[in-house]
Structure 1
């Protein structure tokens, strides 16, 4: 079946990710699986619309118009706005990097972040996705995920550092403790020198809609203090979240 113009344009946009934020035309064509001439034509059209931007060096990057559209996405509705003051309160109390993430398949999608003052290697960015099994917020989300999401994550346990958990039985035991204790921790599982602790954010119906986390160099002396601060902030976010919109009735 011949690919439609829309699907090929989406292939061009899908060529970008956290590790490929700027691409030459040849790189763009190769990653999108398109002939060079087709990639050039589509990139030009996307630049004129604002979905892409072509730098003076000739490289392409995602355009600001896509960012503007992305801010309209309900992830869930009102989450970033509700969470913002609590993220700032957490940062003021800890001076650590604060994360807010939601589940996106078997990955954690970072929807907001405040960078801390401590010299801790941070690999996340707003809009980036990281594997759930190697991050504090991800383990919280995975502990409350649907069975198909859990199965997908267990089937893709890649080792990122020497401390990344890649044994399914060990991860399942950690997730059981996350549900029992109400928080998750990591120790240099995503990047060397970075530890994290995270708690769930629950919506008005009690469902887990996000995870709130902090990244620090060491948890040994401050874990309980950070857990307490995170729980207060998560409860505050949950109380201010608007109710989920009613679901459309299924067709008869």
Structure 2
């Protein structure tokens, strides 16, 4: 939907100064669905309108349509994302094949390390988590399946910005100076510092962040290549700082990433009906 909305004629200004609302119904529907990207599970109509920038009357009419299409569900006075979105998302070829190959290997990796395991892809200036394997102790971590975090302060994001084909282009979309998104006081804020970090990641082919996403926690990430040698995703292990050791985890992470690459080179998984 993103590309369609971006080319649609623009109407009145939205809640962010200088950002115009799309005139198309599809563009406004995208904004309503995007209101859930911050991690909200259920939203009242007033909150849905505020977060999307769509006027309340229009938001109500569109929300009713989205409920009929199964893209939203309504519970009393609140809305949540519908199961139809999950069903469609499971059929996105790139993520479906990647997840089907990677999931059993990530489960084995979690069993060996007891760290929270993430598989992420680059989504412009953010990372999108397409898989997460974790134990009960990880409930309070910031990440979630299908959730997004700033690429500049995550280990997976640094790997993808430094090594993926679109990484350099998306680096150019990041704010200059000290305007990078931050999650803790240790998150990198300077574009110049980030550039130096990414240069090191490019040389070492791994990223190690400490306390940039959650205080007291660290992540170690490595690239996952496709059969053509192009970096498609990043694989990471996250846990308390004392448990995320480069020496201990890096060989295991790289071995799992290599196994995912070999799996992607095999027969394509059968289509889900």
TM over 0.5: yes
2:45 aligned with 1:25: yes
Question: Over the residues paired in the alignment, what is the CA RMSD in angstroms?
Answer: 2.3
* Whole-angstrom CA distance in 1 between matches of 2:198 and 2:186: 16
**Which of 230, 233, 246 pairs up with 1:223?**
246
| Secondary structure class of the residue paired with 2:185 | coil
- Give the number of equivalent residue pairs: 244
Q: Which residue number corresponds to residue 167 of structure 1?
A: 190
**Which of 106, 113, 135 pairs up with 1:116?**
135
* Whole-angstrom CA distance in 1 between matches of 2:192 and 2:50: 38
Q: Which residue number corresponds to residue 40 of structure 1?
A: 60
Equivalent pair of 1:200/1:210 in contact (CA under 8 Å): yes
Output the TM-score relative to the length of structure 2.
Answer: 0.82
Q: Which residue number corresponds to residue 94 of structure 1?
A: 113
Equivalent pair of 1:139/1:184 in contact (CA under 8 Å): yes
| Secondary structure class of the residue paired with 2:103 | helix
Equivalent pair of 2:120/2:233 in contact (CA under 8 Å): yes
| Unaligned ranges ≥5, structure 1 | 246-252
| Unaligned ranges ≥5, structure 2 | 1-8, 12-22, 269-273
Distance apart, 1:119 and its partner CA: 5.9
Q: Which residue number corresponds to residue 249 of structure 1?
A: none
2:93 aligned with 1:74: yes
* Whole-angstrom CA distance in 2 between matches of 1:222 and 1:23: 40
Distance apart, 1:220 and its partner CA: 7.0
| Secondary structure class of the residue paired with 2:156 | helix
Are the structure 2 counterparts of residues 205 and 55 from structure 1 closer, same or farther at C-alpha, using a change threshold of 3 Å? same
* Whole-angstrom CA distance in 2 between matches of 1:77 and 1:64: 17
* Whole-angstrom CA distance in 2 between matches of 1:185 and 1:52: 38
Q: Which residue number corresponds to residue 169 of structure 2?
A: 148
* Whole-angstrom CA distance in 2 between matches of 1:221 and 1:130: 20
